[in-house]
Structure 1
Amino acid sequence: MINAELHKQPVALDREQHRKLRLRQDVNHLAAAQTFNAFFLTAAEFGDACKEYPILFLPAGKDGDGKTLVAPVAVFGLAQGENLFLQADGRWDAHYVPAILRAYPFTMARVADDRYVVCFDAASPGVSETEGTPLFQENGEGSTLLQDVSKFVEQVEVEVERTRLIGKRLMELNLLKPKRFDAKLSDGTPVQVDGFLAADEETLNALPDADLLDLQRNGLLMLLHAHQFSMGNMRRLIDRRLARLQTPG
């Protein structure tokens, strides 16, 4: 999945053209997310992510039938361009980092209906032809590093498609509704987050038993509960905002 904000210059990896390419281990690849106040999550990540981030759903265009698509995101900040988890020293202040960020500068992109290729962000300072760990062996085969990367981004891509279908199902059941979060900082400054979708408790409770059973059997009910649990982290984001404002410099 190519994220236009993250992958500034995505290029399909080619064993001949990029034979000399290396990955620099001394570069903080997560610095690319410095201005991200939210980032895409796959459904498989909800269990880990809900412990640290609010998980919200954002509109993601329409499908071929004109139905609204949604994308779940982990929220990193309360304002545009604000990442409260990436610290000044480059440290990510959370135990869990979204999978696509962990894979950076690599990702996977679809080039045909049934064909995908590994890509890298040519704009990343983490890729080099002179420094770092080689991506290819002398014989042109992928190095152990590249093999591990390929497996990881392929697994993520499978989960991306699964997540898309899950979002579609939740929208079909009308379970995601526009919501707004309002709060105040200790100095009285108002904080408002809107433009997102979240699970609607009333609609969920009113679902027919057959639909509830289907959600439970497919693991979607557990995902909804993780999403609902995660909303308590909005208050923690306020604490992070206050702590950053009170930090000298």
Structure 2
Amino acid sequence: MTRHAVLDKNVHRELRVRTDAGAELGDDIMATLTVPSEFRRVQAHFPILFRRETGRADFAAMALFGFESGENLFLDGDRWDARYRPLSLAIQPFLIGRPASDDGPGQVHIDLDHPRIADAVDGVRLFDADGMATPYLDEIAGRLGDLDEGYRESRAFYDALSAYDLLEPFSLEVTLDDGSLHSLVGFHIIDEARLRALDAEALGALHAAGHLMPIFMAMASLSQLSVLVERKNRRLAGG
């Protein structure tokens, strides 16, 4: 369940949010949305795969944390075992809200039913005693702005991938140390052969639009798949 509300310094003066990690806080997920503008940071830690949004033809990029639903191999009890958290995860329980027309500036909304909502003792305050935003809330607002801008800019990126037919279906079968088999299906990756075959004009257009760098970052991120397998094997071995 969700219960979204516009964040208000009067109504939510005493509200606190938990910033630690934990399955009970919503971190037990296999993947999370990422946007091209953060691919450079994401690719250093997580594989970036593409998949179609449910019921739509549009693609979205996902930072992969595990091989099965509910599995996050970067979650170690109450510790996040990576130096980066993708923006879509780092901003919870906040989100950007807009009018139905999608015009005008966004507003900071909060999900009051999210497990990160804390009691009067635990968690970080959003507003100080004078009703001013705390440094934590200022940081969240910045991340929300980055994510919102990245999401809006991503449409042109995916249009370019479609125009040059640069996404190919991807599946992966991994045999782990204990003999079990895990499969990844339903994802896409950048088609490296088709990218290499593009002429100078097409590559120049992709570069001029700012799309070439996130393409390269998504390709580079696939080296993290072997790291993810190592994490899975350690988890199975109790490490």
Aligned mate of 1:196, from 169, 181, 187:
187
* Cross-structure match for 1:37: 30
CA distance in 2, matches of 1:34, 1:98: 12
Matches within 5 A, 1:175-194: 175-194=166-185
CA drift of 1:81 comes to 1.4
CA distance in 1, matches of 2:35, 2:72: 20
CA drift of 1:123 comes to 1.9
Asked whether 1:72 is paired with 2:61, we answer yes
Give the letter for the 2:177 counterpart.
S
* Cross-structure match for 2:107: 117
* Cross-structure match for 2:93: 105
TM-score, L = length of structure 1: 0.83
Matches within 5 A, 1:7-46: 8-24=2-18, 27-28=20-21, 32-46=25-39
Residues 145 and 54 (structure 1), Cα distance of their counterparts in 2 relative to 1, 3 Å cut: closer
Aligned mate of 1:52, from 42, 45, 55:
45
**What stretches of structure 1 move > 4 A for 4+ residues in a row?**
137-141
Q: Which moved more, 1:106-115 or 1:231-240?
A: 106-115
Tell me the alpha carbon deviations over residues 178-205 of structure 1, each in whole angstroms, 9 at most, x when there is no partner.
1111221123322211101111122212
Asked whether 1:241 is paired with 2:229, we answer no
Asked whether 1:221 is paired with 2:212, we answer yes
CA distance in 1, matches of 2:95, 2:157: 21
> Per the alignment, in what secondary structure is the counterpart of residue 58 of structure 2?
strand
CA distance in 2, matches of 1:44, 1:71: 13
Which ranges in structure 1 are unaligned for 5 or more consecutive residues? 1-6
CA drift of 1:140 comes to 4.5
Which ranges in structure 2 are unaligned for 5 or more consecutive residues? none
CA drift of 1:106 comes to 1.7
CA drift of 1:128 comes to 4.4
Q: Which moved more, 1:168-177 or 1:133-142?
A: 133-142
Instruction: Tell whether the 8 Å contact from 1:180 to 1:193 is kept in structure 2 after alignment.
Output: yes
Q: How many equivalent pairs are there?
A: 236
Instruction: Tell whether the 8 Å contact from 2:173 to 2:181 is kept in structure 1 after alignment.
Output: yes
RMSD: 2.5
CA distance in 2, matches of 1:133, 1:96: 20
CA distance in 2, matches of 1:41, 1:203: 23
